[in-house]
Amino acid sequence: MMRNRKMKDTPLPVSGRRVLRIEIAPSTLLIGVAMVAGVWLLIQLWPVLLLLIASLMIVGSLNPAVDWLERRRYRRGTAIAITFSLFLLVIVLPLIMTIPSLISQIADLIEKEPELRTRAIDFLSRYPLTTSLADYLRELHYDVLIKTFSAHALAFSTMIVAFVAYSAGAYFLALYIMIDRDRLRGALFAAVPRSRHIQLSRILNNLQIIVGGYIRGQIVTCLLIGLFIYILLASCGVPNALSLAVFGGFADLLPFVGAFLTIIPAVLASLSQGLAITVIVLVALLCYEEFESRFLIPLVYGRALRLPSSVVLFALITGGSLYGVIGALLALPVAATILMLIEELRVELPGEQSQDDDREAKEQDQLNEEEYRRRTRGMHAEEAAAVAVEITGQRKKDEEVRHGEHGNHSPEDKPGQAS
């Protein structure tokens, strides 16, 4: 009887197939809906997120200057005022000095366009490989381009106004973040368990090194190549040297591609001065690009990025494909940040074996955490955050001294073709 009752209670498969019932727990469904809503909100607030990222990059770039002034016994408010005023002066003053000349030179280029196009066509027609390009220039009509430009002029001016507004917003947001640094840092540390405060402080310190080093390096390299192009073209008698130098300085922001965007317009503009001047400009720019990639970039960037060339190229392709020029500009610091987080969080990658340096780092982490717990017992989060920053800074100095003594600087410490 018991055996027959069990057989009746067991459900029989339909047509010899097992029926699987999939049930989604309400908590799982709620998490999925929250993730979708979060992604949608992130897409909608993408301009605001870019504004925050830009302000944090400004903070990371200017914070070392503020700290340097504070070590020279300036009050923090005075140091912030001096640093942000100089930063604004460095950004605005070149624009004020170059925009009137730039507009006049662009107008001059437009006025002389038929003559320049005729010279370019004559030069390209001399060689079989460039005959097709000469025919393309000869058959190119500008009426369609002028109509298209007129149709998009309002949209372009709106984009310029929006860019200026977002830039001003990022500047003032960075100023407020710098003023409220201790309070904001205390709130961040209060949201993280005490056992992770040293690790969080080290991550924030490395982020400042990456972002600050990248921005400062970009500013220095762009200013230097713009100055070099202007001196070179002006000394060779090439017209519109200032506009070409400004374009070359902005084009140098883009790694790899920036070299071609810098050289090609300058060489084409020098064709009007003869073949000898063109060769001089081409050779000089090629030599400068080699000097910049081999000596200037490692000197300016230092150990800020530490990215191999393969990672740099992959990051640029990914960032440019996703978000265009902005994605390409943010690709390198984002890639360096991801590698830094993998290293700092002690993430073991597949096939990676534990090294002696990793074991020493973990032991040092434990010692630092014990010292932090001992010194911050009973402290508020804001005061504890300052202690964590102090311990992390001292450890960073000790590591730099140790690396300097052993000369342990590998080629990967250079940022590769980072600019």
Q: Is the pLDDT of residue 302 over 70?
A: no
Question: What mean pLDDT value characterizes the chain?
Answer: 75
The pLDDT value given to residue 373: 80
Rounded Cα gap, residues 34 and 38, in angstroms: 6
Q: What residue type is 269 in one-letter code?
A: A
- Spatial neighbors of 323 by CB under 8 A, at least 6 apart, are 330
Asked whether the predicted pLDDT for residue 354 surpasses 60, the reply is: no
3-state SS, residue 17: strand
pLDDT in tens, 270-301: 877 888 888 899 999 999 888 887 777 777 76
Helix then strand then coil, % of the chain, to nearest 5: 80, 0, 20
Instruction: Output the pLDDT for position 411.
Output: 37
- Between residues 39 and 151, the one the model is more confident about: 39
Tokens of 63: 């914070």
Q: Does residue 85 surpass a pLDDT of 90?
A: yes
Domain extents for the chain?
Answer: 45-179
**pLDDT of the residue at 415:** 45
Q: pLDDT higher for 402 or 33?
A: 33
Write down the pLDDT at residue 284: 92
Instruction: State how far the alpha carbon of 98 is from the alpha carbons of 32, 157, 258, in Å.
Output: 53, 19, 21
Q: What is the pLDDT of residues 379-417, one digit of tens each?
A: 777 787 888 878 887 777 766 666 555 544 443 343 444
pLDDT tens track for 211-256:
877 887 888 888 888 899 999 988 988 887 887 888 888 888 776 6
pLDDT tens, 322-335?
A: 766 677 777 778 88
Q: Which residue has the higher pLDDT, 167 or 80?
A: 80
Tens digit of each residue's pLDDT (9 = 90 or more) over 13-23: 555 566 666 76
- DSSP assignment, residue 324? H
Q: What is the pLDDT of residue 43?
A: 78
More reliable by pLDDT, 207 or 316:
207
346: left (phi over 0), alpha (psi -120 to 50) or beta: left
| Contact yes or no for 415/304 (Cβ under 8 A) | yes
- How many residues comprise the chain? 419
DSSP secondary structure string, 31-98? HHHHHHHHHHHHHHTHHHHHHHHHHHHHHHHHHHHHHHHHHTT--HHHHHHHHHHHHHHHHHHHHHHH
CA–CA gap between residue 245 and residue 178 (Å, rounded): 33
324 vs 9: which has the higher pLDDT: 324
For residue 142, pLDDT over 70 is answered with: no
Residue 281's φ and ψ, nearest 5 degrees, are -65, -45
Residue 80: per-residue pLDDT: 92
What is the Cα–Cα distance from 67 to 143, expressed in whole angstroms? Answer: 56
Give CA–CA dist 85/192, Å, rounded: 34
